[in-house]
Structure 1
Amino acid sequence: MTAIAPQLNAVFDGFSKNVPEAIKGPINSSRASLTDFDTSGIIKVGEKMPDFKLQNAVGEEVDSASLRAKGPLVLTFYRGEWCPFCNIAISGFQKHISEFKAKGVTLVAVTPELPNGTLTMSEKHQLEFPVLTDAQNEFARKLGVVWKMPESLRPTFEKFGHNLPKRNGDDSFEVPLPATLLIDQDGIVRNVYAEPDYIKRVEPQTVLEWIEKL
């Protein structure tokens, strides 16, 4: 069983060793500020998940009720295709997709990126599960997992060519925490992983263990 933590750590180590301080400094500073993120508003185990209607990668509307009609639901949020840690996490879930399907669970990724970006993500990783656009993070906001990045990061994003206003269709400079939730068929949240530090991600194997306990 391949864990994603070593891959995440390797990317961060490479960043720490190779990226110039002028770029690394603002990123590390903003990441450190995530320790102040107010986690009290994050949806909790036992609460009812708000319903949603979101567009998939080809612009079709997908609603939560239809997804839950098939069985339990796993939602995993990611910041965008531009984020290397998100790419590792999403690819990790894809490697286990047959196990999720065997357990009768629908896996769904959610991001603020517009359908063009979600299609890129789907094709890039040959995803066999839907990627949905949460425009302006409206759904993520209901779950308490939205972070407004500091303005000091904007020049850094420009240097990397990450045009979030174009990718997301708004200039809020907000992204979701990389949260993952297990929702049962009645819409009740059974497990939540919502770590503000975006370098840390839940292991797909851990989520599969959640499902075993449903």
Structure 2
Amino acid sequence: MTKFDPKSYDLSQQLAALQSQAEVQLPGKLLQQSSRPIEQLIATGAVNKVLKEDERAPDFTLPDAFGHPVALAQLLKHGPVVIAFYLGVWCPYCNLQLHAYQQALPQLQALGASLVAISPQTPDHSLTLVEKQALTFSVLSDAGNQVARQFGLVFTLDEATRIAHKQLGTDLPEYNGDESWELPMPGTFLIDQTGVIRLAFVDPNFTRRLDPSIIIAQLNKLIDRAGSEA
């Protein structure tokens, strides 16, 4: 098996390049409005409400892009589970993250883990993402952000940010199938087979994501710990 080489796909570098491109291409006012949630989430300390390491992950069952139910409890019977909450197919930062995770998937699987990605968008839009990115892991639809809410991730876009999204052509009610204008803070969690969170990464700044090499390193630690306790 060819191991995932973090140097071959530097996620942080790709995200930084995308942000620089946005700063050049988007009008200043529109860029400022679209970034308002970052400032608001930081100011309100929203990340403090998120589930943390050593806490138990809530069980859930959600439909994948093909309408098939996927249950966390069933996945955990076979090994640890990596959960990546993302905004939707319309988010270029999310697309870069999921592409990097797809590249790392063979090594995650070799370490006994499975990977799922969760967003509030409808299964049809999830299917578009799966086909566009050639993703081979489960992409789940969390209608109404019910699971994201249990993880403490949900926030609501204010009117100015809604206007900015509309100007950018992002029709969230159409993507998500509701009028709530709610989204999850992007976050990545590693759940061990007992259902306990062993790695939690959530950043109010949606331009930052957890590098897959860190997930792989933590999985190796879990394996080493299990071996020493055996």
TM-score range, shorter chain: over 0.9
Contact 2:34 2:165 (C-alpha < 8 Å) held by counterparts: no
In 1, the alpha carbon distance for the partners of 2:49 and 2:36 equals 23
1:116-141 deviations in Å (ceiling 9; x for gaps) = 11101111111110000111110010
| Structure 2: distance between partners of 1:104 and 1:48 | 20
Q: Which residue of 2 aligns with 1:62?
A: 70
User: How many Å separate the matches in 2 of 1:30 and 1:80?
Assistant: 16
**Shift in Å at residue 33 of structure 1?**
2.0
Which of 27, 31, 45 is the aligned partner of 2:53? Answer: 45
Within the candidate set 17, 29, 36, 1:29 is matched to: 36
Equivalent position to 2:202, from 194, 205, 211: 194
1:140 to 148, 171, 176: 148
SS of residue matched to 2:97 = helix
CA RMSD of aligned residues (A): 1.1
SS in 1 for 2:78: coil
Counterparts of residues 88-167 of structure 1 (less than 5 Å): 88-167=96-175
Distance across 2 between alignment mates of 1:161 and 1:209: 38
- Which residue of the other structure, out of 15, 20, 25, is the alignment partner of 1:13? 20
- What is the SS of the residue equivalent to 1:197? coil
Q: Aligned runs of 1:199-210 on 2, under 5 Å?
A: 199-210=207-218
The Cα shift of 1:157 comes to 1.4
Q: 2: distance between equivalents of 1:3 and 1:205?
A: 10
Residue 12 of structure 1 deviates from its aligned partner by 0.7
Query: Over residues 7-66 of structure 1, what are the superposed CA-to-partner deviations in whole Å (9 max), with x where a residue is unaligned?
Result: 111111111112112322212333322212422221121111111010000111111111
C-alpha separation in 1, matches of 2:34 and 2:170: 14
Match among 215, 218, 221 for residue 213 of structure 1: 221
Whole-angstrom CA distance in 2 between matches of 1:130 and 1:27: 29
- Farther off after superposition, 182-191 or 26-35: 26-35
Deviates more, 1:32-41 or 1:180-189: 32-41
Contiguous gaps of at least 5 residues in structure 1:
none
SS in 2 for 1:202: coil
Determine what percentage of the aligned residue pairs are the same residue: 35
Q: Which is higher, the Rg of structure 1 or of structure 2? A: 2
- TM-score of the aligned structures, taking structure 1 as reference length: 0.96
Query: Which ranges in structure 2 are unaligned for 5 or more consecutive residues?
Result: 1-5, 223-230
**How far is the alpha carbon of 1:171 from its aligned partner?**
1.1
> Which SS does the other structure have where 1:82 is aligned?
coil
Secondary structure of the residue that 1:17 maps to in structure 2? helix
Tell me the number of residue pairs that the alignment of Structure 1 and Structure 2 aligns. 214
Structure 1: which 4+ aligned runs deviate by more than 4 Å?
none
For 1:33, the aligned partner's letter is Q
